[in-house]
């Protein structure tokens, strides 16, 4: 028996990077994973199903509230349950504030924060009725400590942390936990953009001097979504190797 046998988990931004690793982790432990992404999810779905796991993909832009509600409805109708939501889809558009284009502010807040609202609202309604569920939001240490050149991203992730804590209070009485993870620098396509100099400077500030792996984040997400975390809600689990302490 896997830890997540028969459970249904939706992972936004599940086509690649951290989201894909979270999908692999849940599937390995028996969950049926729904990878929802603007990108094509056929590779990750094929990888999981070829390995004997349960996975399905769907095209979803989380900024589209109607599409988000329809996706959640169809997942629930197909499986008659929705146990886990991981709000992982997110982007960066880095620039110093004085040079930041308003559209890059709007884009980052629109996906990283409004997108979470769009997906979580229909999920929360279902989980409240079901009287069980786990919601894990992928924030960032940048939402806790700030970062020059990332005012839009930091604001979105700090907002996500406030959202997490508020929702934890709203949904706790219905046996639904809501937590966040705050990764530091994780090796993914998002951080592949760093130059060697940027990477070296970064490592000087990380107590465990390496970038994190998507697996480091997936393990923490699985813990918060799993049975050992049933009395944990409203927390922000920092996974930064000591970048932020």
Please give the residue ranges that form the binding site for ligand NDP (CB under 6 A).
12-13, 15-19, 37-39, 60-63, 88-91, 111, 115, 138, 140, 183, 185-186, 188-191
State whether residue 75 is helix, strand or coil.
helix
Contact (Cβ atoms closer than 8 angstroms) between residue 126 and residue 223: no
Q: How far is the CB of 238 from ligand NDP (least distance, A)?
A: 11
Q: How far is the CB of 92 from ligand NDP (least distance, A)?
A: 7
Q: How far is the CB of 231 from ligand NDP (least distance, A)?
A: 26
* Nearest 10 degrees: Cα torsion 86, 92, 98, 100: -100
Residue 244 is a catalytic residue = no
Q: How far is the CB of 173 from ligand NDP (least distance, A)?
A: 28
Number of neighbours of residue 213 by Cβ within 10 angstroms:
14
Residues in the chain: 245
Of 196 and 231, nearer to ligand NDP (C-beta) is 196
Q: How far is the CB of 195 from ligand NDP (least distance, A)?
A: 15
Of 89 and 127, nearer to ligand NDP (C-beta) is 89
Catalytic residue among 153, 185, 231, 244: 153
**Max intra-chain CA distance, the chain:** 54
Of 128 and 194, nearer to ligand NDP (C-beta) is 194
Of 129 and 210, nearer to ligand NDP (C-beta) is 210
Contact (Cβ atoms closer than 8 angstroms) between residue 212 and residue 241: yes
Spatial separation of the C-alpha atoms in residues 206 and 184, rounded to whole Å:
9
Cα→Cα distances 99→92, 149, 151, 152, Å: 15, 9, 11, 12
Spatial separation of the C-alpha atoms in residues 191 and 198, rounded to whole Å:
10
Of 5 and 66, nearer to ligand NDP (C-beta) is 66
| Catalytic site positions | 153
């Amino acid at each position: 028996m896997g830890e997540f046998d028969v459970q249904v988990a939706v992972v936004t931004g599940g086509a690649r990077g951290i989201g894909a690793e979270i999908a692999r982790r849940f599937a390995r432990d028996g969950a049926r994973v729904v990878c929802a992404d603007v990108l094509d999810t056929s590779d990750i779905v094929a990888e999981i199903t070829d390995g004997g796991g349960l996975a399905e993909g769907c095209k979803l832009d989380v900024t589209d509230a109607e599409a988000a509600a329809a996706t959640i409805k169809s997942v629930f109708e197909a499986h008659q349950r929705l146990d886990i939501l991981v709000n992982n889809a997110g982007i960066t558009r880095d620039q110093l504030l004085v040079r930041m284009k308003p559209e890059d502010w709007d884009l980052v807040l629109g996906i990283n924060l409004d997108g979470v609202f769009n997906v979580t609202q229909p999920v929360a309604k279902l989980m409240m009725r079901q009287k069980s569920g786990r919601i894990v939001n992928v924030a960032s240490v940048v939402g806790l400590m700030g970062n020059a050149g990332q005012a839009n991203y930091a604001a979105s992730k700090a907002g996500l942390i406030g959202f997490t804590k508020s929702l934890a209070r709203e949904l706790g009485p219905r046996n639904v936990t809501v937590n966040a993870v705050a990764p530091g620098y994780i090796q993914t396509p998002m951080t592949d953009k760093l130059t060697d100099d940027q990477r070296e400077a970064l490592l000087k500030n990380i107590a465990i001097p390496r970038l994190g792996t998507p697996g480091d984040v997936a393990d923490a997400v699985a813990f918060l979504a799993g049975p050992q975390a049933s009395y944990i809600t409203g927390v922000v689990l920092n996974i930064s190797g000591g970048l932020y302490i």
